[in-house]
Amino acid sequence: MSTVRLNKLKKPILVAGPCSAESKEQLVSVTSALQKTNSISILRAGIWKPRTRPNSFEGIGEKGLIWLKEVQEELQIPVITEVATTLHAEKALENGIKNIWIGARTTVNPFSVQEIIEVLKGEDVSVMVKNPIHADIDLWQGSIERFIKAGVENIAAVHRGFSSFMNSEYRNLPMWNIPIELQRRFPTLPIICDPSHIAGKSELVKTVAQKALDLNMAGLMIEVHPDPKNALSDPQQQLTPIEYNQLISRLVLRKATSESQMVLNQLEELRSQIDKVDEDLISTLVSRLDLIKQIGEYKRSENLSVLQLKRWNEILNSRTELAKKLNLDEVFIVKFLELIHQESIRIQTDINSTLD
């Protein structure tokens, strides 16, 4: 049992196991329970845990690699763990661990990523790259490209959500548009969702997992512990093996396409209608922005300020009320209006900055 061929695994890829390796018995207990139901592709377990504050449990360390190696050989299951330094990478390879993931706190630092790559270069490994802590898709893409450039092509991305100061039911905001855009940029790259870190609460894991599969993600990375309440790290988001198996059995797998020509024809007809609506929408936006230019010119000639707060509030309130009457989501329409307003401000500011 060695390197996992990520593109050849049956979907959904199921990466499961405890947040942290705490003992060999713990790893065997979880793995055995999940193998019985055929609900695991790869065993995950953290050995080194990057914690925000000192004096927290920071992982069992190097001896955990020995447990992982033994479980890998005895139970014939591939294992994966996080590496954050060159020393971690070296020790993992020495112990026969050929599957690793790069954590969110490491992805944010290109220097750290490149140093780890130098250790892995030329090795037959598989690598999963988690998104950076904050919503920076270019940083995520850059880390992936660094591995590809170094010849590490057996690679996947892991969507674990993004930190934010916004109030949310989730530990990390899903911001699904970002992994969707990453998939557009890397069409053949497997993207695995980490519902545990997005949810932050065990009761929300299923909802996030189903959403990920609905979006055609390649798999799931879920934390499973034999006794979550007494886990040494992240107890609130880990599932028991029984809870995990129930979750997997209840997930609905969507088809990427249909074999029915009638269904395909109907979709094509609806998409053609959407294309026409989009053309009209863009033409309408062009007309609106042309009016904004005229307003900008008039404000400039009359020495009026670009930002007219009273008018902006009127637009925001009246359009939101109209959207409600038409059953449009209020959050969506506010974001849409804000984007238009930002572009309007940019256009008028540019006009004001133009010298005679």
pLDDT tens-digit map of 232-266: 999 999 999 999 999 999 999 988 888 899 999 99
In the chain, % of residues over pLDDT 70: 98
Quick one: average pLDDT of 198-227?
A: 97
- pLDDT tens, residue by residue, 263-300: 999 999 999 999 999 999 999 999 999 999 999 999 99
What is the per-residue pLDDT for 203?
97
Residues paired with residue 155 on neighbouring β-strands, in sequence order? 127
Local structure of residue 104 (DSSP, 8 states): H
pLDDT of amino acid 256:
80
- Of 13-17, 156-160, 303-307, the least confident: 303-307
CB 149 within 8 A of CB 174: no
Q: Give percent of the chain above pLDDT 90.
A: 90
* pLDDT value at residue 255: 85
| Spatial contact of 146 and 118, defined as CB atoms under 8 Å apart | no
CATH 3.20.20.70 correct for 6-250: yes
Question: How much is the pLDDT for 259?
Answer: 87
Confidence bin at 164 (pLDDT 50/70/90): confident
Q: Which residues contact 295 (CB under 8 A, 6 or more apart)?
A: 348
Mean pLDDT for all residues in the chain = 94
pLDDT score, position 304: 92
The most distant pair of C-alpha atoms in the chain lies apart, rounded to whole Å, by 81
pLDDT category of residue 58 using cuts at 50, 70 and 90: confident
The superfamily in CATH containing domain 261-353 is: Chorismate mutase (1.20.59.10)
167-171, 190-194, 325-329 — which is least confidently predicted?
A: 167-171
Which pLDDT belongs to residue 233?
92
Report domain extents, the chain: 6-250, 261-353
Tokens representing residue 15 in the block: 């990466």
356 vs 213 pLDDT, higher one: 213
- Among residues 335, 6, 2, the alpha carbon closest in space to that of 186 is found at 6
